[in-house]
Amino acid sequence: MGAFFSTLANFFYTVIPQAIAKFFIMLGERLFAPDFWNKFPDGKNRGVFWMYMWWCVKISVYLAIFSIGGIGLTILGIIYIYFKLYRKLTTPKNKDEDEREKMMEEEKKYSYYQQEDV
């Protein structure tokens, strides 16, 4: 029974800490390798933390630009929509019909296939 406990103690005091240490070394290499821009022959990514930090910096710059410019773009969009609505409501109906007839005449003049009246 004493051999079992000594083997178990040996396992808990040597094997498990070694596995944990290997894990943290591999994790540190995988996350914090300084040469993350290189492609490695084994196909594994290294320096993933730095890639993530670079992505976060880019996204924060984009968000800052679009949050500042977003207000102006929103106001311009609202002005544009109301201008179109105003133009549509103030255009007389007969003017729209005249423009439509002109477009139909132009289309008939330049169309290759013309439908004949039956």
pLDDT tens digit at each of 118 positions of the chain: 667 777 777 777 788 888 888 888 877 777 777 665 566 666 566 677 778 888 899 889 878 877 777 777 778 878 988 998 888 887 666 666 777 788 888 877 776 665 655 4
In a domain? residue 80: yes
Structural domain harbouring 58: 33-109
pTM > 0.85: yes or no: no
Structural domain contains residue 8: no
* Domains contained in the chain, number: 1
Is residue 40 within 8 Å of 29, Cβ to Cβ?
A: no
Does any domain span residue 16?
no
Range 4-27 burial, b when 16+ CB lie within 10 A, else e: eeeeeeeeeeeeeeeeeeeeeeee
Closest CA relative to residue 26, chosen from 41, 51, 44:
44
Q: Does residue 38 fall inside a structural domain?
A: yes
Give the end-to-end CA distance of the chain in Å, rounded to a whole number: 109
- The SS3 call for residue 17 is helix
Question: Is residue 28 one of the residues assigned to a domain?
Answer: no
